[in-house]
Amino acid sequence: MASSDILRYIESIAKDKEIDPEQLISGVEQALAQAIARKYGVEDLVMRIDRHSGEVISNYEIDLEAEGRILAQAVKQAIIGRFREAERDVLFSEYEAKIGEIVSGTIQRFEGDTTIINLGRNMEGILPRTEKVRGENYNVGDRIRALVLEVKKAGNRVKVILSRAHRDLVRALFELEVPEIAEGVIMVRRIEREPGYRTKLAVDSADERVDCVGACVGVRGTRIKSIIDELNGERIDIIRWTEDPEQLIRNALKPAEISHIELDGERKKALVLVDEDQLSLAIGRRGQNVRLASRLTHWEIDIMTRAELEQSFAEDGTPTGGASSDAAKAEAGDGPDSDDSGVDEQEPTSGDGVEDTAPAGPGSETRDVTDTSAGN
């Protein structure tokens, strides 16, 4: 191969693999130096390729054409290894920059409980069992979107760990569907999720003229509907963020109407009183509503009716009993096996199917957007 052909060959590979040509040339220089130094037992051998002519220059007099097939094969294998390393580094950098973003691919095969997804360019994504949403079923050939959770090198390959269960998947979906979030006008303050069942999202607006909740829902629920469809019907509560802990707790417990809240700032505990007909709404199916509200607000929430409060005082003089966020955690089950009145008892807005609960006070708006299809 002529000297000029070496450069053309390297440039062709670099363009095809989207690799920096300089990185490949350096790899070829190192591969040549290592192979020849090993043969002759020298340690100070230096090989350099002229970037203009392609001529191989060394601090020793070496006739590469006379070195024989064994040396040529050794050099070839070393160069191939360098190419693979360079290609791996490019892919690693590309996907490392995508951590926290959504990628799409095609389900290629299953390895036990792990799903392998073809991401293109001979790149495979790994969806472990722990990052799947319970109840979701996949088939070979299905298109799927997932969050890039982790990227790591494994020999000459790159492993991309994906997730469908991480809460940041919901955040990334909102960034795609709501331009105001991507632009920084609307901020996602906190998000808590029980994959496949329910998510609570607290949002705030940097511009008072922008309705952060309404922008996330979209006109007639168009924005939120695509997100719910992507999550296979997962229920999403969008609440308005506030620095007032009492109001935040009220917002987080929507759609339930709260009668009274007592806060214990030292222990970060909140005693919430509700009417009897609001108790099931406040607790939610298998404690989901109070559990997610507690995690979202960072307050331990104890929900009681006034009758329960009076009974506990009558018995021992302390407000015990009711449903707390800790109790809700203990009651959490594998799935929704009973009706959640938090869906059925809310009144949808005029025909758009987005369930909207009237605010209890300034900044208390929340919207339950479980089903945004028209007419539901």
Do 142 and 171 sit in the same domain of this protein? no
Do 237 and 354 sit in the same domain of this protein? yes
Which residues share a beta bridge with 199? 193, 236
Nearest to 161 by CA among 99, 93, 106, 232: 99
Domain-ending residue, one of 163, 179, 204: 163
- Put the strands of the sheet holding 198-205 in their side by side order: 186-194, 198-205, 235-240, 366-368, 355-357
* 344 lies in some domain: yes
* 123 lies in some domain: yes
Tell me the pTM.
0.72
Q: Mind spelling out the 3-state secondary structure of 111-164?
A: ECCEEEEEEECCEEEEECHHHCCCCCCCCCCCEEEEEEEEEEEECCEEEEEEEC
Q: Which two tokens stand for residue 352?
A: 């758009």
Do 280 and 149 sit in the same domain of this protein? no
Q: How many CB atoms lie within 10 A of CB 214?
A: 16
**If residue 34 lies in a helix (H) or strand (E), which one and from where to where?**
helix 21-40
Q: How far apart are CA 219 and CA 354, in angstroms?
A: 10
Do 319 and 234 sit in the same domain of this protein? yes
Digitized pLDDT (tens) for each residue of the chain, 376 residues in all = 555 677 887 788 788 877 788 877 887 788 788 888 888 888 888 888 888 888 888 888 877 777 667 667 766 776 787 778 888 888 999 999 999 999 999 999 999 999 999 998 889 999 999 999 988 999 999 999 999 999 999 888 899 999 999 999 999 999 999 999 999 999 999 999 999 999 999 999 999 899 999 999 999 999 999 999 999 999 999 999 999 999 999 999 988 999 999 999 999 999 999 999 999 999 998 899 999 999 999 999 999 998 888 887 777 666 655 666 665 555 544 444 434 433 333 333 333 333 333 333 434 444 455 443 333 3
